[in-house]
Amino acid sequence: MRCRAWRPFRLGAVAAAGAAVLAAAIPGPAAARTYVVPIRNMAFGSVPADLRVGDTIEWVNEDIFRHTVTATDKSFDLDLAPKAHATITIGKPGPIGIYCRYHPGMKTRIVARPARPRGGR
């Protein structure tokens, strides 16, 4: 399905583009990964267990309701119309609490570790 409102997290998109350029310049497997986390039935789906700085999370709103993916530390705030998706790229290690501004009981937490060594796991 075509999404009406694909709105990438701007900094994330820039970082992702930068990472892509870097990956093209340096041989070896790309270290950064992209994860997809659905938002379904008024809940955030499972978040990646091995999340690293430089990784990207694509949040996909599968609900019929508008949701936000909002960081408690204010580092990002995605507003997703029904069926829309958007990405963030992890910029720093550590935990970040996440909630939906419209439905404050919807919560999750991501924990990022330092970037994977290039070529390593």
Partner 1 sequence: MLKMMALAAAAALALPFAPPPAARPNDAQIAHIAYTAGKIDIAAGKQALAKSHDQRVRAFAEEMVRDHSAVNDQALALVKKLGVTPQDNPTSQALSKSADAKLAALAKLNGKAFDRAYVDNEVAFHKTVNGALSGTLIPSAHNPELKGLLQTGLKLFTEHQKHAEQLAKSFK
Toward partner 1, which CB reaches closer, 19 or 106?
106
How many residues bind partner 1, per CB under 8 A?
Answer: 12
Closest CA to 84 of 100, 101, 68: 68
The β-bridge partners of 40 are 43
- For residue 10, which amino acid is it? R
- Smallest distance from partner 1 to CB 101, Å: 9
Site for partner 1 in 10-39 (CB under 8 A): none
Does 72 help bind partner 1 (rule: CB under 8 A)? Answer: no
Reduce the DSSP state of residue 35 to 3 states and report it.
strand
Does 1 help bind partner 1 (rule: CB under 8 A)? Answer: no
For 20, the token pair is: 């892509």
